[in-house]
Structure 1
Amino acid sequence: MKTKLLLLYIAGLLAVCPMGGNLMAQTATQPDVLKNDTVSHKLIHRLGLDVRPSYVTPTNDFFDGDNMHQQRIRQALSVHLKYAFQFDKNSSLGRLYPHAYQGIGVSYNTFFCPSELGNPIAVYAFQGSRIAQLSPRLSFDYEWNFGASFGWKKYDRTYNPQNEVIGSKINAYINLGFFLNWQLNSQWSLTAGMDFTHYSNGNTHYPNSGVNPIGGRVGIVRTFGDGATTVQGFKSLSIKPYISYDLVVYGATRKRGFVDGYDVCLVPGSFGIVGLNFNPMYNFNKYFRAGVSVDAQYDESANIKDYRVEESSSSDVKFHRPPFHKQFAVGLSVRGELVMPIFSINAGIGRNLICSGDDTEGFYQILALKTSITPRLFLHVGYQLSKFKNPNNLMLGFGYRFYKKR
């Protein structure tokens, strides 16, 4: 996937987030319940500041001191400024999801090694909500962040040859945090907990080992308007179970490399990917739906390592194009989905049933973010792993939801 296309999809995700005041965006998650809602309800606005110190997990020798400074890279620090909104407690979405908030954030990140990694700036969409109420003013919450990070010092054969973890100046930013939320009053709250972060370019460039900090977070949030819903609980709405059907079409490009003996062989050029998912889902309640998915994917680079031209040199490696059946696979996966206003997070594990060759055989895993654009149309940004360990490809596309009431 070219970086510009990845940025286009992330920009689309960020653009959709402020549409929370629009009825089409509000009703996209649960139209059967919200069809009589109006846009007259005011939004509750929030501003937040987070500080997140982290430990960088040593997933590569580069972090253990195999770098220009011959020093371990273990520490990271990020500072986040965030705007979010909640739905009014008198609106249908406010009664369905009284503690959910969503918005846009920006962060400054440093690994205390600017000459080799840079000090990237991240811009992202985020959403959070309550997991459990521990006391009248203390709750256990979660929050995810997803966006793009800019300003990395990428691998360069001449100027940055030992950085074998980052291959592009722009990388995806993914974060998941769990924390305690102490509500001081209806306007102010303090948060403290831990989070997990992953930076990657989704195999759009090599190298792509990624950076994975794990650490803590402390923050303060100022709520404007009627913040009573964050202090006092009330009886929220529920929905009747029903069945929905999601059809997703996606595409991407990727780089391909493989190990040949003791050498790493990088296949020249980029390769196209196109796929389709058909996913019937049983909606158990307002928060969760699950089902199975039929997944078809064509990967132009699949099994290409088996078709190397023997006469080609290591400096000018060439390949024949594999036959179609070596590059096409159809699988069946089990999916679960967390449903919230505007956003849904879909995760699944599957196995290819129609396939040929080592690259397409076996299990695959999927994690995707669905962002509602209209009541039925949504933006799909996903990532696929192969065999529980190998980064495979991005899944950037659109989906359409067919509803069937019980």
Structure 2
Amino acid sequence: MKGEKIHWKIVWVLTILLFISAIASAQSLGTSTEGSTAITLRENNSDPSELFDSLFFSTPIIHRLGVEIRPGYILPTNPYFKGENSTSQPVRSSFSTHLKYSFRFFPNTLADKIYAKPYQGIGLVAYNLSHSQELGTPFVFYLFQGAQISQINPKLSLNYEWNFGLSLGWKPYNRETNPGNTVIGSKANAYINTNFYFSWLLSERLNFDTGLSITHFSNGNTKFPNAGLNTLALKAGVLYSFARKSEPQIRPSDLFIPTFKRHISYDLVMFGSWRRTGVDFLDAQVASPVAYPVMGFCFAPMYNFGYKLRLGVSLDGFYDGSANVYTQDYIAGTEQEFFKPPLDEQLALGISGRAEYVMPYFTVGLGVGKSFLYSKGDLKAFYQIIALKTEITRNSFVHIGYSIKDFHMPNFLMIGLGFRFNNQYPSFYRK
């Protein structure tokens, strides 16, 4: 349990750092006007990639391919990593190799200027962990997005990037075949990463990137054990940009940022998941034998302050099938029974303050709230929510979030769909 508290503190700090750095990357937008400069491309387009891009993007883009290595140190957040394992040796090292495809908007377009040179893409990574005979050799598929924090000089910039994905290839705990692994309980785990790095422009199409990377692996409390694994790593890589022949020529002086129309939009999210829990028994906790369902909704009026920031308040409703589950004394040699309370003891309403950092295609959100209507026990909570919203259409999105208690206790996943009403947010990057 102590290890779980430590690793969720790390995740919370990691997310706060990402949020602060993202806000810090906001640039002055200059004088606002009622219109914007039109960007014209050639009508006769013989390049197939340009034809494809014009179908899906309202802003011209640059395709990029990158390779990275990340030698890392496994943080000793659990006794297992300190040496309480089958070899009695500390588990310290990790090494990962990344292959990444991304695209960014052309320089001096509206999307490029408003969002501080953003880019987004997909990545594939292979991990080599010390003690792999018990932990496995995971590989990861992930989404990522980044942007510039500061342009230090014409050829050097400071940037941030987040990664979020699914890792496979773990060797989970098994009482008979893998009893030594007391930290990873599932074959598939979430992958969460934040990195901050310097990017050097070596040539017109080639960049060299180097910086620091923080990574967290967890199954979201869906299986036990869930102590998680955290790494601190260096990163180094090269990035090649496939510039197109018909690159638009746009001067910064020709570009005017439209006035942002402040307004209130309304987000409705419906989510569900499952979770395992520990049940109090004789001054200790016993792992629940089954996974319990979790369902809920969030309804949040959000004030849109500008292109990058939304603030609001959310009404949060929860059904937690593991809440207030209890067990009783039993005869040794028989199966211990677990009992569910009445439905009203597994329902709760809460209210939370929300802040969202808005970027093309993705929105990163934080929430801090408290239950105000509940029966008793487990549902009395001061809770926090970390969420990623990924656009499906202009007014709908996939919601992937996680709820924790008191900034350190794992709670449950929040996987679902969301809909946005009264959405007056302008879009400069999609059809």
**Aligned partners of 1:40 and 1:261: how far apart in 2?**
62
Matched ranges for 1:64-103 at <5 A: 64-89=82-107, 92-97=110-115, 99-103=117-121
User: Which SS does the other structure have where 1:325 is aligned?
Assistant: helix
Residue 135 of structure 2: which of 112, 117, 124 is its match? 117
TM-score, length-scaled by structure 1: 0.85
- 1:176 paired with 2:197, answer no
Gaps of 5+ in 1: 1-31
Indicate conservation of the 8 Å contact 1:267/1:317, yes or no: no
1:237 aligned residue: 257
Indicate conservation of the 8 Å contact 2:315/2:351, yes or no: yes
User: Which SS does the other structure have where 1:297 is aligned?
Assistant: strand
Shift of residue 94, structure 1, vs aligned partner: 4.0
Structure 1 residues 33, 324: closer, same or farther in 2, change over 3 A? farther
1:141 aligned residue: 159
Indicate conservation of the 8 Å contact 2:212/2:234, yes or no: yes
Indicate conservation of the 8 Å contact 2:281/2:328, yes or no: no
1:287 aligned residue: 308
2:397 aligned residue: 378
Indicate conservation of the 8 Å contact 1:170/1:201, yes or no: yes
1:369 aligned residue: 388
Structure 1 residues 94, 356: closer, same or farther in 2, change over 3 A? same
Shift of residue 97, structure 1, vs aligned partner: 3.0
Residue 182 of structure 2: which of 141, 159, 164 is its match? 164
1:52 aligned residue: 70
User: Which SS does the other structure have where 2:289 is aligned?
Assistant: strand
Shift of residue 355, structure 1, vs aligned partner: 1.6
AA aligned opposite 1:213: T
1:207 aligned residue: 225
Gaps of 5+ in 2: 1-33, 40-53, 426-431
User: Which SS does the other structure have where 2:419 is aligned?
Assistant: strand
**Deviation by residue 1:228-270 (Cα, 9 ceiling, x = unmatched):** 99xx977573523222110000000111223534754122211
- The number of residue pairs the alignment matches comes to 370
Shift of residue 92, structure 1, vs aligned partner: 4.7
Indicate conservation of the 8 Å contact 1:295/1:333, yes or no: yes
Shift of residue 394, structure 1, vs aligned partner: 0.4
Shift of residue 373, structure 1, vs aligned partner: 0.4
Shift of residue 192, structure 1, vs aligned partner: 1.2
**Aligned partners of 1:43 and 1:399: how far apart in 2?**
28
RMSD: 2.6
- 1:270 paired with 2:291, answer yes
Shift of residue 132, structure 1, vs aligned partner: 1.4
**Aligned partners of 2:67 and 2:423: how far apart in 1?**
42
**Deviation by residue 1:163-222 (Cα, 9 ceiling, x = unmatched):** 111001111111011111112233111111111111011111111110011122111111
**Deviation by residue 1:26-79 (Cα, 9 ceiling, x = unmatched):** xxxxxx999x99746542101111111111111111101111111100111111
AA aligned opposite 1:237: I
**Aligned partners of 1:113 and 1:314: how far apart in 2?**
35
TM-score, length-scaled by structure 2: 0.80
Indicate conservation of the 8 Å contact 2:108/2:252, yes or no: no
User: Which SS does the other structure have where 1:359 is aligned?
Assistant: helix
1:28 aligned residue: none
**Aligned partners of 1:296 and 1:342: how far apart in 2?**
26
Indicate conservation of the 8 Å contact 2:104/2:118, yes or no: yes
1:339 aligned residue: 358
User: Which SS does the other structure have where 2:376 is aligned?
Assistant: coil
Indicate conservation of the 8 Å contact 1:87/1:98, yes or no: no
Shift of residue 284, structure 1, vs aligned partner: 1.3
Shift of residue 98, structure 1, vs aligned partner: 5.3
Indicate conservation of the 8 Å contact 2:35/2:256, yes or no: no
AA aligned opposite 2:189: N
1:256 aligned residue: 277
Matched ranges for 1:10-49 at <5 A: 39=57, 41-49=59-67
Which stretch shifts more, 83-92 or 395-404? Answer: 83-92
Structure 1 residues 164, 89: closer, same or farther in 2, change over 3 A? same
**Aligned partners of 2:333 and 2:119: how far apart in 1?**
53
Shift of residue 387, structure 1, vs aligned partner: 2.1
**Aligned partners of 1:136 and 1:209: how far apart in 2?**
44
**Aligned partners of 1:405 and 1:200: how far apart in 2?**
36
Shift of residue 379, structure 1, vs aligned partner: 0.4
**Aligned partners of 2:310 and 2:35: how far apart in 1?**
16
Structure 1 residues 200, 297: closer, same or farther in 2, change over 3 A? same
Larger Rg: 2
2:421 aligned residue: 402
- Percent identity over the alignment is 42
1:194 aligned residue: 212
Residue 105 of structure 1: which of 123, 135, 157 is its match? 123
User: Which SS does the other structure have where 1:269 is aligned?
Assistant: coil
Shift of residue 404, structure 1, vs aligned partner: 5.5
AA aligned opposite 2:98: H
1:22 aligned residue: none
**Aligned partners of 2:333 and 2:274: how far apart in 1?**
24
